[in-house]
Chains A and B, each alone.
Chain A
Amino acid sequence: MNKLKLNYISLSFLPILVCIPLGYQLINNIHLGGFKLFQEFLISAFNPKIDNEIIITIINRLNETILIGFFSWLVSIIFGAIFGIISSNIFYKIFNIPNFFYRIIRFFLTIIRSIHEVVWGILLMQIYGINFSIGIIAICIPYIAVNSKVFAEQLEIIDYKSFESINQINAPKFSSLLTLIWNPIINTFKNFGLYRLECSIRSTVILGLFGIGGIGTSIFLSFQTLNFRELWTYLWSLAILIILSGLIFKKIKFNTTNKILSIFFIAVFFITILFSFSYFLYFIFNNNFENFNSVSSLFKSSSDLGLFDFLKLILETIILSLLSTGIAISLPPLVIGIFNNNSSKFFIKIFAFLLRLIPTPVILLTLLTFNNPSLSLAALTLGLHNAGITSKLLFTNLDRQDKRNYIAMKSLGISKKTSWLLGLFSQQAKSYLAYCAYRSDIIIRETAIVGVIGSVGLGWQLQESLSSFAWQEVTIVLIAYSSIAIVGELINGKIKNSLT
């Protein structure tokens, strides 16, 4: 018998095998009690509620979402760039700073980004109470660290020889640094800025589900009252917001040769830094820190969490991450490959957009209408949402790709599906897997959200511990979360490096 040989194509499809255990548990957990509700949910998508009252609510809620989303994006992208610079190799080479500091900063940022914005949000809400600025801060904390990683990765690929050449000119160190990093920073902003803005808006919506305000809060309230028509009005308005922000972002030409535009961007850069610092100081000194005292009881509070239960929760979180990653990797190429025609493509794109648009807690709550809460259901939710994101990337790259191989194969009489697989997807498989490795880092962090709603893993425990102000438990859970995320990031980093 021939030995199975793994290549990038098979590695892209093999993870779909997670659907076997997942499907088994999901079928066993089916209940038809809420099937009607699910049906109603689907039908309402085509019949959203539109009246004066809801339009006013939408305008107000979208205003809040835009404010939180935009400001958290702006602050996190600017500070992300700054932290990206000081966590990149080139900075330490130019200033001759020992690599020790480089490792410390990177480790610190890894810990910060390992905790999801929802966790930061819940944590901050417990300490400071519900506050508009909590939303911005909760998003900014992990996003600065996430963005810094993106910027640092782009700066790491600066040709070392360019550095040597600038260094040899003996320019002042800041001049050398700026000359070398200028374009990589601008290009990273151009390439990732819009995506990060979309992420920021999505995070604002998810935080809204936990009461921070904005359209997310309205979505959650309408879901709680089973008012699906209203829910879909909010979801469609959110879709319009995301599409519009994308169009506006694409319209702005980040042309650094335009003097006025350059000066405007620099002004925005410095004003944001100044404003952020002043606001941060204002926030610190003007908050009454109602519940802050409870933090001091951190070491006094006891934990009822048994070691066995705790290990079980960690294991659940890891399994949840693996199952979701499997779906997110394999589902898009499988579906796109099978339904490889223009009309199907259109529907897949819309479906993928909806999966990205509808916040994971809402997807999970919807699925709960006909399935009992379980690890598989949480994994399916997280997997589907992330498949929406990975499929967007796959579509974009496939659309850009040279199609001559595909056409040549089809002209040889090879079937459309095989031609797609070997003529198109084969050239994307490697970079697609590399992106999925990065995506799985995010999936690990996102297990917190579905955990909170779906009673699975550490996310659930975190919610429980926070509700009972069991700070010691909260700390233990957060350390466990960070550890899983850090180990995951290390493994994924190795996979990504071997793929790029």
Chain B
Amino acid sequence: MNNTLLELKNISYKYKNNLILNKVNLKINSGEKIALLGKSGSGKTTLISVLNGTIKPTQGEVKLFNKSYEELDRKQKRKITTIWQDLRLIEDLSAEQNVNCGLLAENNFYFTFKNLLNISSFKKAHKYMQLCGLHNSIYEKKIRKLSGGQKQRVAIARSLIQGSNILLADEPFNNLDPKLITTIKNLLLENVDKKNSKKSPKTALVALHRLDLLNDFDKVIGIREGKIFFNIKRNNLKKLHLDKIY
């Protein structure tokens, strides 16, 4: 049975005459946890942006659930969630309002209105914020008043509240202290957290810099100058591979 969720066929992306992605081929199957390694500027963020449909490639074909991005309905698009490297939170809204933004897709316009007026229920948002180690004293604070680590966790909570099956994350452990990294990693990669009745995304592609975090991943992809240098099982990863990309 074909269980490919995301597929890139011969993808190239050019920006101002610079080739950011160069003939990338990639398949992500259901349930896979993939770590994406590469130096800064190697094309990791662009690859994630192509996968979530934010960037249209200059050349090649992107298939999500065996369909092109334009063919997907809203329900299918909702199955993908992204944690951006630059977080992309709405600075003027409070932390809880930002987390509630993750629920916009499954709710109607009235919910949006209530969220902006601060009269919607924040119960679910608070639950996810708590899971991410956020203290209730910051729930009502505006994003611009939070520290880097707090913002990072708000972005993660917003992503998790969406309840998507596929997670695309661009360096989600930035700004976090070591203890929190383990908690957040478990939240993002463990399938089911029975204690908190929270479902983690089943499939994940996570861009990373730290090699000590690779343990929970099934596969590792190495990217350099927009080209995939290796796409192997984690157990097969050798120093030789890393030398190619760093």
Whether A257 touches B101, Cβ cut-off 8 Å, given contacts A161-B84, A184-B92, is no
Tell me which of B107-115, B177-185, B198-206 binds A. B107-115
Whether A176 touches B84, Cβ cut-off 8 Å, given contacts A170-B74, A182-B116, A259-B117, is no
Whether A256 touches B93, Cβ cut-off 8 Å, given contacts A165-B84, A168-B53, A169-B162, is no
Please tell me if the beta carbons of B119 and A169 are within 8 angstroms of each other in the complex: no
Give every chain A residue within 8 A of B117 (Cβ-Cβ): 256, 259, 262-263, 266
Let me know if A166 is at the binding interface, CB within 8 A: yes
Give every chain B residue within 8 A of A183 (Cβ-Cβ): 90, 92-93
How many A-B residue pairs lie within 8 Å, measured between CB atoms? 86
Q: How far is the CA of A259 from the CA of B119 in the complex (A)?
A: 7
> Looking at B80, B109, B112, B118, which has the most chain A CB atoms within 10 Å of its CB?
B112
Let me know if B82 is at the binding interface, CB within 8 A: yes
Question: A residues 129-173 with Cβ under 8 Å of B?
Answer: 159, 161-162, 164-172
Q: How far is the CA of A374 from the CA of B86 in the complex (A)?
A: 59
Let me know if B102 is at the binding interface, CB within 8 A: yes
Please tell me if the beta carbons of B54 and A164 are within 8 angstroms of each other in the complex: yes
Whether A161 touches B116, Cβ cut-off 8 Å, given contacts A168-B54, A169-B101, is no
Please tell me if the beta carbons of B54 and A187 are within 8 angstroms of each other in the complex: no
Q: How far is the CA of A172 from the CA of B119 in the complex (A)?
A: 20
Please tell me if the beta carbons of A178 and B88 are within 8 angstroms of each other in the complex: no
**Contact for A179 among B80, B82, B116, CB less than 8 A:** B116
**Contact for B104 among A176, A184, A262, A263, CB less than 8 A:** A176
Question: B residues 76-93 with Cβ under 8 Å of A?
Answer: 77-78, 80-82, 84, 86, 88-93
Please tell me if the beta carbons of B118 and A170 are within 8 angstroms of each other in the complex: no
Question: A residues 219-278 with Cβ under 8 Å of B?
Answer: 256-257, 259, 262-263, 266
Let me know if B152 is at the binding interface, CB within 8 A: no
Q: How far is the CA of A266 from the CA of B109 in the complex (A)?
A: 15
Q: How far is the CA of A120 from the CA of B102 in the complex (A)?
A: 47
Q: How far is the CA of A354 from the CA of B82 in the complex (A)?
A: 57
Give every chain A residue within 8 A of B90 (Cβ-Cβ): 162, 166, 179-180, 183
Let me know if A101 is at the binding interface, CB within 8 A: no
Q: How far is the CA of A162 from the CA of B88 in the complex (A)?
A: 5
Give every chain A residue within 8 A of B112 (Cβ-Cβ): 171-172, 174-175, 178-179
Let me know if B105 is at the binding interface, CB within 8 A: yes
Q: Smallest Cβ distance from A107 to chain B, in angstroms?
A: 30
Using CB atoms, name the residue of chain B closest to A178.
B112
Q: How far is the CA of A262 from the CA of B114 in the complex (A)?
A: 10
Give 28 pairs: A residue, B residue, CB < 8 Å, sorted on A: A162-B88, A162-B89, A162-B91, A164-B88, A165-B89, A167-B54, A168-B52, A168-B80, A168-B82, A169-B78, A169-B81, A169-B101, A169-B102, A170-B78, A172-B104, A172-B108, A172-B109, A175-B108, A175-B112, A176-B104, A178-B116, A179-B93, A179-B116, A183-B93, A257-B140, A259-B119, A262-B117, A266-B117
Interface residues of chain B, those whose CB is within 8 Å of chain A, are 52-54, 74, 77-78, 80-82, 84, 86, 88-93, 101-102, 104-105, 107-109, 111-113, 115-119, 140, 162
Give 7 nearest A-B pairs by CB, closest first: A171-B104, A165-B88, A183-B92, A175-B112, A170-B77, A182-B116, A170-B105
Given contacts A170-B77, A256-B116, 13 further A-B contacts (CB under 8 A): A159-B88, A161-B84, A165-B88, A168-B53, A169-B101, A171-B101, A171-B104, A172-B104, A172-B105, A175-B108, A179-B116, A257-B140, A259-B119
Interface residues of chain A, those whose CB is within 8 Å of chain B, are 159, 161-162, 164-172, 174-176, 178-180, 182-184, 187, 256-257, 259, 262-263, 266
